[in-house]
Structure 1
Amino acid sequence: MIITTDGLRRDFLVGTRLRRRRVTAVEDVTLDVERGEAVGFLGPNGAGKSTTIKMLTGVLVPTAGRASVCGLDPVRERRELGRRIGVVFGQRSQLWWDLPLAESFDLHAAIHRVPTAQHRKRLDECVELLDMGGFLRTPVRQLSLGQRMRGEVTAALLHSPELLVLDEPTIGLDLTSKERLRSFLSEVNARGDVTLLLTTHDLPDVERLCRRVVVIDQGRVLVDDELAALRHGFAGNRVLVVELTEPAPPLLGLAGVVDVVVEAQGLRQRLEFSPGATTAAELIATVAQRVELRDVSVVEPSIEDLVRTLYAR
C-alpha cells in the first residue's frame, strides 16, 4: 500500500483564550490506497478533505490514529517523504514568481538532487505532452492560469514521485486547459509511473481520471468504492435518447418510463426510466415497435448526481 491510515483523527481548539471548545475536523478515517491507483477524494467544503491531506503530507500532526505514506511516517519522516511525493495545490504556487518557468524547474531539480540526465528526460516529456515549449522562458508572473497550472504539475513530477496529491488542480482553467491536463495525468497514471490522490469540486476531473471514489463529510468517510459500483448502487434514473426518422408525438405509456421530453420538433425524445423497472435494451425494443429509429443513446447519471444522492442519504 502506498497510503494506509487507521482511525485518523484531528481536533482543533477554537475560540478565545478564556473560552475555547474542541472541534473535530477529521474522525476515524481509515483508508488503504494501492500503488498505481487513481482515487478521487470528494466532499463539500469543510468536510475534512484538506485536513486529511495535510496529515498525509506531514503538515499536521494527527490527534489520534496513525498514517503511513510510501512506507513512511508523514510527521517523523517528513523530509524523506518530501522526496517521494509531489503535491499540487490549485491556489498555491511552488514556482518562483519572477523567474522564467524553465529556471523554476531547474531549481526544483537541484532541491530534490535529481540527476541532470533524468531531469532533462522527464522535463522534455512533460514539455511535449503539456505543450509548454512556447513559454518555458516566460517569467511565471506573466503566464496565464492554464500555463501556470501545467508548470505546477510538471514541477511536482520532475523528481519522479511515487504519489502525486492534487488539490483542485483544474480550478479556474478553461475547457481546453482542463482537458490537456486531464489527458496528461491520465497517461502518467496509466503507465504506472505515479499514484494519484485527487481532491476536487470539478467532478468531470474525477470521471476522467479516477476509478475509485472516497466520499467524506463531517470528517467521516461516507463511501469508499469503485466509481462504477457507486453508480450502480446509488445512481437514480437513466435517460434513453432516441433520434427518430420522422416527428412523432410523445412516447407515453411505456413500462418503466417516468418522464418524456420532446425536442427538435418531435425528432428527438428523452425517456427517463427507472433501471429497477426496465432495462435500456427492453425499452429500445419497445420503442422500436412504435416508431422508426435513426439513432439511440443512453445517458448515465453524472457523478455530480451520485454525490448529491449520497449527501441526501
Structure 2
Amino acid sequence: MQAIEVNNLRKEFKVQKSRSGLKGAVRDLFNREYTQVRAVKDISFQIPKGEICGYIGENGAGKSTTIKMLTGILVPTAGEIRVNGYIPFQDREKFVKGIGVVFGQRSQLWWDIGVIESFQLLKKVYRVSEADFKQRLDELVERLQLSELLSRPVRKLSLGQRMRCELAASLLHNPQIVFLDEPTIGLDIVVKTEIREFLKQMNQRYETTILLTTHDLQDIEALCSRVIMLDDGRIIYDGGLEELKAKWGKGKEVILQFAEAVSLDRLQKLTEGLEVAWSVDNELTARVWIPQQKVNVSEVLSRVVGVMGIEDIKIVETNTDDIVREIYKSGSAEAKAMHALNEKAEQEEVKVHA
C-alpha cells in the first residue's frame, strides 16, 4: 500500500519584478511586472506505508515547496498528489487527522502557556478521545522524557526540550504519516541521537511512514532506508544510500601501517599497472587512493601483504556528506537565488490560501 503518491507534480509561482530607483517604484505601483518561477518541475515518486524516506537537496531545490504541497499548505500548479488516499488541499479536515508535521524552524505550540495546555488544545483540534489522549500522552511523556517539562511555558524551554515537545505534539493523534522538516536543526549531538532513536522505535512499533527533509546527512544515514535527492526542482536520485555511494562515490582510501620502513617507490612498483595513487605519511605509514569501480581493494592489498609486513589497515570510504557536497558543488549561487524567489512567492501564496 502506498502512503504517498506523487505524479508529475509541478509548482510555479508568480513573483513581482522590482524596478530600481524612485521612478521604478512609482511605476511598480501602477504597472507591475511579474516573472514565473518554477520551483518543482514535474516530479513523481511513491512512498509505501511504513518507510522512512529522506528528502534532500540544497536550498532552493524544492524540498520545502514539495512538503507544503504534501501537507495541503500549497496548491499544486499541475500534477496529482495522494496522501493516505486523500488529495491534501481538497480534503483538509479528513486529511489532517492522519498526518503529523514538525517544522524545525516553526512551532505548533502556544508560546506563553504550559506545554500540557498546548497538548490539550491539540487534542480538541484533532478530536482525540480522552482515553486515547491519555494513553498516547503517557507513552510519549515516558519515551521523550517530558514529565518535568509539561507545566513549563514553551518560551522557557531550551531548543532541544522544545523539539521533543514538538515531536510529541505532532504524534498525539497517532498519525499514519509524519512529515519532518529539519527536526534536528540547531540541536546538540545528544538530543539528536535521542530523537533519532525515538523515531526509529516509533516507526518499528506503529509502522509510521516518515518523510524527512534535513541538511544533516547523519539523520539520513541513521534513519532512512531510501533517499530522494532534488536539484533545481527535479529528482536526480531515488534509491538506497549504498547505491548512492556506488553511483557517485569516488573511491576508497586505505591507510597502512608497516612493520618496517617503506618507500614510495617500492609501493608504486608493487602496484604497477593498477590505477591507484600512493602517498607516504612517514617511514612506517602510507596511504593509497583506490578509484571507484576501477580497482578492487583486495587486489591492491594482495600485492602488498604478501611482500611486506603490515601491522594495521584502515579503509576510509567516501561518506555521504562528501558525495552530496560534490554533487551540489556547482550551481550553488543560482540555487540560493532561486530559494529567495521561492520563499517570497510561497509566503504570498500561503497568505492567499490561509
Q: TM-score, normalising length from structure 2? A: 0.80
Change (3 A) 1:120 1:244: farther
Q: Does 1:258 align with 2:267?
A: no
SS at match of 2:97: helix
1:279-294 paired onto structure 2 within 5 Å: 279-294=296-311
Deviation string 1:178-207 (CA, Å, 9 cap, x unpaired) is 111111112212334311101111111111
Question: 1:213 Cα deviation (Å)?
Answer: 1.0
Partner amino acid, structure 2, of 1:280: V
1:143 aligns with 2:162: no
Label 1:59 to 1:239 Cα distance change in 2 as closer, same or farther (>3 A).
Answer: same
User: Which residues of structure 2 form unaligned runs of 5+?
Assistant: 18-30, 331-354
Distance in structure 1 (CA, Å) of the matches to 2:203 and 2:257 = 37
Structure-2 residue corresponding to 1:299: 316
For residues 205-259 of structure 1, the C-alpha deviation after alignment (integer angstroms, 9 at most, x for no partner) is 1111111111111111111112221111221111224455667556842444324
Separation in 2, partners of 1:22, 1:137? 48
**Over aligned residue pairs, what C-alpha RMSD do you find?**
2.3
Could you tell me which of 196, 199, 220 is aligned with 1:182?
A: 196
Q: Trace 1:64-83 onto structure 2 (pairs within 5 A).
A: 64-83=78-97
**Bigger CA drift: 290-299 or 165-174?**
290-299
SS of match in other structure, 1:137: coil
Identical positions, percent = 43
Aligned counterpart, 2:336: none
Paired position in structure 2 for 1:199: 213
What is aligned with 2:334? none
Structure 1 pair 256–131 and aligned structure 2 pair: CA distance change class (3 A): farther
Secondary structure of 1:135 counterpart: coil
Equivalent position of 2:227 in the other structure: 213
TM-score (norm 1): 0.90
132, 135, 152: which one aligns with 1:118: 132
CA distance in 2, matches of 1:259, 1:40: 36
Name 1:162's counterpart in structure 2.
176
Q: Which one of the candidate residues 281, 289, 297 is aligned to 1:272?
A: 289
Query: Is contact 1:252-1:260 (8 Å) kept?
Result: no
Q: 1:7 aligned to 2:8?
A: yes
Larger radius of gyration: 2
SS of the residue aligned with 2:45?
strand
Question: Deviation string for 1:143-176 (max 9, x for gaps)?
Answer: 1101111111111111111111011111101111
Within the candidate set 221, 240, 248, 2:254 is matched to 240
Structure 1: gaps of 5 or more residues:
none
Work out whether 1:94 is the aligned partner of 2:108: yes
1:4-48: CA deviation from partner (whole Å, max 9, x where unpaired): 111111111111552112111111011111111111111111111
The amino acid that maps onto 1:305 is D
Q: Give the deviation of 1:295 after TM superposition.
A: 4.0
**Equivalences, count:** 311
C-alpha change, 1:139 and 1:10, in structure 2 (3 Å) is same
For the residues of structure 2 that align with 1:290 and 1:124, how far apart are their CA atoms? 64
Change (3 A) 1:156 1:267: farther
In the alignment, structure 1 residue 20 sits paired with structure 2 residue 37: no
> Quick check: 1:229 aligned with 2:243?
yes
Distance 1:233 1:278 in 2: 15
8 Å CA contact 2:9–2:79 kept in 1: the answer is: yes
Paired position in structure 1 for 2:335: none
Q: 1:106 to 1:259 in 2, by over 3 A?
A: farther
1:238–1:272 CA contact under 8 A, matched in 2: yes
Contact kept, 8 Å, 2:263 with 2:280, in 1: the verdict is no
Cα distance in 2 between the residues matched to 1:266 and 1:117? 70
Structure 2 vs 1, CA of residues 252 and 133 (structure 1 numbering), >3 Å: closer, same or farther? farther
Encode CA deviations 1:38-59: one digit per residue, 9 max, x unaligned.
Answer: 1111111111111111111111
Aligned equivalents of 1:179 and 1:267: distance in 2?
38
